[in-house]
């Protein structure tokens, strides 16, 4: 697998986390891959062969060639049918809501074709331009032109939502929402409402996902640590609480995760993010 990330232009760095590419010469014999929540929304273009997204153990649909993958709260499975070549934009949790009129929570846990979210003619032109581009740099320039022409004024980004998310990232999801709000609990309802509008999930749920990310990176990068040590560093109440949250978002317990062939892709994403 060849996975690479690229930084956005300064005009977009407040809302775009990175651009990424993934290439696998022949994925036709690859096992299903379990994709776990990461708290971000993705604008993704499939440039190679089709990719299956499973709706049950045996049933699947083919992912759209250009799509938005909304917030996910449970793991889901994909499987390539051959050559994998993908180009995508990874938005910060509040980022993609700046570009569309559709309520962001309606995109959760599904793949939405871009034709459903943007002007159909413009969306088809974008898809064609991305597919026909000669290299990644040209694709970045094309998608940045598309996004910059639709970006609302940066000042419209809800600062309470942004500062809450910044704090969650800074503390690796450990900070309690009430502590972030400095006991101004009257702000809690407003924050919850704006999170659903701009992020698509609750602040508590995003915090759990970010804390899980930190634990996953510890598993991937410091394999000599015990589960008890990782749970302690991530400030879980105890190891049982850690395992419960881990299984909620990955479908596996931590010991199964490292050696599971269905986690290769998610592990790659997490280790490079």
| CATH class of the domain whose range is 159-272 | mainly alpha
Rounded Cα distance between 31 and 128, Å, is: 30
Intervals of CATH 1.10.10.60 along the chain: 159-272
What CATH superfamily classification does 2-154 receive? Jelly Rolls (2.60.120.10)
Radius of gyration of the chain (CA): 19
pLDDT of 264 above 70 = no
pLDDT per residue as tens digits for the range 6-61: 999 998 998 999 999 999 888 667 788 888 888 999 999 999 999 999 998 899 99
The residues that bridge with 97 in the sheet, in sequence order, are none
Taking the CA atoms of 183, 185, 186 and 188 in sequence, report the sign of the dihedral they define: positive
Q: What is the pLDDT of residue 135?
A: 96
pLDDT per residue as tens digits for the range 90-120: 999 999 998 998 889 999 999 999 999 999 9
**Is residue 167 classed as helix, strand or coil in its secondary structure?**
helix
Secondary structure letter of residue 126 according to DSSP: H
Q: What is the pLDDT of residue 157?
A: 64
Angle CA 235–41–211, to nearest 5: 5
193-198 long-range CB contacts below 8 Å, 24 or more apart? Answer: 194/158, 194/160, 194/161, 195/161, 195/164, 196/104, 196/105, 197/97, 197/103, 197/104, 197/105, 198/93, 198/94, 198/97, 198/104, 198/158, 198/161
63-68: average pLDDT: 97
139-156: average pLDDT: 81
**Is residue 107 classed as helix, strand or coil in its secondary structure?**
helix
pLDDT per residue as tens digits for the range 182-219: 766 667 788 888 888 889 998 889 998 998 888 877 77
Are 38 and 14 spatial neighbours (Cβ–Cβ below 8 Å)? Answer: no
Are 96 and 41 spatial neighbours (Cβ–Cβ below 8 Å)? Answer: yes
Q: What percent of the chain has pLDDT over 90?
A: 40
Residue 248 CA: distances (Å) to CA of 66, 83, 123, 176: 28, 31, 35, 19
Intervals of CATH 2.60.120.10 along the chain: 2-154
């Amino acid at each position: 697998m060849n996975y690479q990330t690229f930084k956005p232009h300064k005009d977009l760095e407040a809302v775009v986390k990175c651009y990424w590419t993934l290439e696998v010469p022949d994925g036709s014999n690859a096992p299903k891959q379990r994709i776990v929540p990461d708290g971000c929304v993705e604008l993704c273009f499939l440039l190679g062969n089709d990719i299956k997204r499973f709706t049950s153990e045996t049933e699947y649909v083919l992912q759209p060639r250009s799509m938005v993958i909304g917030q996910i709260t449970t793991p889901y499975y994909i499987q390539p049918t051959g050559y994998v070549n993908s180009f995508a934009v990874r938005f910060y949790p509040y980022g993609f809501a700046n570009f569309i009129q559709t309520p962001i929570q309606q995109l959760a846990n599904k793949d939405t074709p871009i034709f459903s979210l943007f002007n159909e003619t413009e969306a088809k032109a974008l898809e064609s331009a991305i597919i026909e581009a000669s290299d990644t740099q040209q694709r970045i320039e094309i998608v940045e032109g598309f996004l910059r022409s639709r970006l609302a004024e940066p000042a419209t980004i809800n600062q309470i939502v942004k500062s809450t998310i910044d704090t969650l990232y800074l503390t690796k999801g450990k900070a309690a929402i009430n502590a972030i709000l400095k006991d101004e609990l009257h702000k809690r309802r407003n924050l919850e409402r704006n999170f659903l509008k701009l992020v698509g999930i609750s602040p508590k749920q995003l915090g759990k996902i970010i804390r899980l990310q930190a634990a996953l990176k510890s598993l991937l990068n410091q394999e000599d640590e015990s589960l008890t040590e990782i749970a302690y560093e991530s400030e879980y109440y105890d190891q049982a609480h850690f395992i419960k949250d881990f299984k909620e978002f990955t479908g596996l317990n931590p010991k199964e995760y490292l050696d599971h062939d269905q986690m290769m892709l998610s592990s790659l994403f997490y280790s490079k993010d």
